[in-house]
A and B are shown apart, each in its own frame.
Chain A
Amino acid sequence: MDASVWRRLLSAPALLAEAAVLLLGGFLLAFWYAPTDASSMGFSQKIFYFHTPIAECALVAYAVAFVAGVLYLRHQDAKYDRLGLAAVRLGLVFSLLVMGTGMIWGKAAWGTWWAWEPRLTTFLIACVLYAAYFVVRSTVEDEGRRATFAAVYAIIAFVDVPITFFATRYLPEGLHPVVFTSSGTGMAGSMLVAFLVSMAGMTLLLAGLIRLDVHVQELRLELEEFKRSLERGPL
């Protein structure tokens, strides 16, 4: 396959379409193929099939922002800044979704809307952390400096996420750990299939949405440059 075919397959619309197919597949598999969880969670465990992929995709998005930050600092190319911005934006949206679905799952599984357990807490902190990313961006006027600061912040923030998870999970010993296991001793084969399909679909969805976001940014930029060149007067 030559380059143009790849490019078309990896474009935003294609990715989103592929994602939709996989997500639909995962959804069907989760409900009609995978067995209901044997543990006390019962039917509410089905939330897991989308909740966990979204969580992992949020982290992937933050990783992309980290890499974009590093690349920007090295090459000073604005396209990495745009990528970072898109990645953080989507990471934040996905993180909010993790919190929302996590809380719904918590209510269904343990009867309480909130628990200070490691995963929810870490994502809460991630939400605040990456929301601050936008605050940082809004306080710098110079474009080059804004991109630099955003890149540095994205790097620091991503480094902090695993540290935060580790801290909230292992340090407060003696506190009541509400163990949030996805299933008892590992997943049955059919559960794994449903999970993996959903995971693949979510990842493609993330990729597609990031590309879409970058595309919007580039269009806006082009529009502004065009307007500016018109103002500069006739040729």
Chain B
Amino acid sequence: MSLEEAVKFVAGAYGVIFAVLLVGYAVAARRVASLTRELKGLREAAERRLERDRDAVR
């Protein structure tokens, strides 16, 4: 097999590795970000509700 062909295969292999791992990492990182955001939003909503209830009681 000529060098040029071999280079294509090697590049393909490393490329596949890089792509898969990058995608995996990106998916996980995005999930972390969105979940953290959702949690923060819920916490703030709960705090606001708590304050509203407290005001209503007063």
Interface residues of A (CB under 8 A from B): 16, 27, 42-44, 46-47, 50-51, 54, 93, 96-97, 100-101, 104-105, 107-108, 111, 205, 209, 212-213, 215-216, 219-220, 222-223, 226-227, 230, 234-235
Contacts and interface: CB of A to CB of B under 8 A. Distances in A.
Interface in B8-51: 9-10, 12-14, 16-17, 20-21, 24-25, 28-29, 31-32, 35-36, 38-39, 42-43, 46, 49-50
B7 A43 contact: yes
Given A42-B1, A44-B6, A47-B9, A216 B17 contact: no
Contacts of A100: 13, 16
B55 interface: no
Interface residues of B, number: 30
Binding site of B, secondary structure by majority: helix, strand, loop or mixed?
helix
Contacts of A96: 20
Interface of B: 1, 3, 5-7, 9-10, 12-14, 16-17, 20-21, 24-25, 28-29, 31-32, 35-36, 38-39, 42-43, 46, 49-50, 53
